[in-house]
Copies of this chain bind each other. A is one copy, B any other.
Amino acid sequence: MRGKGSLPSLPVAVDAMGGDDAPESVIAGARLAAERGIPILLVGQPEKLADAGDFELVPASQVIAMGAEGAVSVRRMKDSSLVRAAEAVRDGRASAMVSAGNTGAAMAASLLRMGRIRGVARPAIATPIIVPGRAWPNVLLDAGANTECSPEWLVQFAQMGAVYCRDRWGVEEPRVGLLSNGEEAGKGSLLVKEAFELLSSGGWQSRAGAVFAGNVEGRDLLGDLVDVIVTDGFTGNVALKTAEGVAKQLIGALLKAFESSEEARKGAELLAPALAPLYNEFNPDSVGGAILLGISGVSIISHGASSPSALANAIQVAHELAQRDTMSSLRRVLAAR
Contacts and interface: CB of A to CB of B under 8 A. Distances in A.
B270 A245 contact: no
Interface in A272-287: 272-275, 277-278, 281-282
A256 to B, nearest CB: 8
A253 B238 contact: no
Contact of A246 (B180, B247, B270, B272): B247
Interface in A203-258: 217-223, 233-235, 237-254, 257-258
A50 interface: no
A269 interface: yes
A200 interface: no
B253 A273 contact: no
Given A219-B248, A264-B274, A275-B257, A188 B238 contact: no
Interface size class of A (residues with CB under 8 A): 35 or more
A192 B282 CA distance: 32
Number of this chain's copies in the complex: 2
Contacts of A275: 254, 257
Interface in A10-55: none
A190 interface: yes
B245 A222 contact: yes
Contact of A190 (B148, B261, B273, B274): B148
Contacts of A233: 181
A240 to B, nearest CB: 7
Mostly, the A contact residues are helix
A282 B252 CA distance: 13
A268 B274 CA distance: 11
A275 B238 CA distance: 29
Nearest to A275: B257
A75 interface: no
A217 to B, nearest CB: 5
A240 B218 contact: yes
A264 B261 CA distance: 18
Contact of A281 (B253, B271, B273, B281): B253
Given A148-B190, A239-B242, A246-B222, A234 B181 contact: yes
B282 A250 contact: yes
A189 interface: yes
A251 B272 CA distance: 16
A245 B273 contact: no
Contacts of A263: 270-271, 273-274
Given A180-B234, A254-B275, A260-B274, 7 more contacts: A222-B245, A254-B254, A254-B278, A261-B274, A264-B273, A267-B267, A267-B268
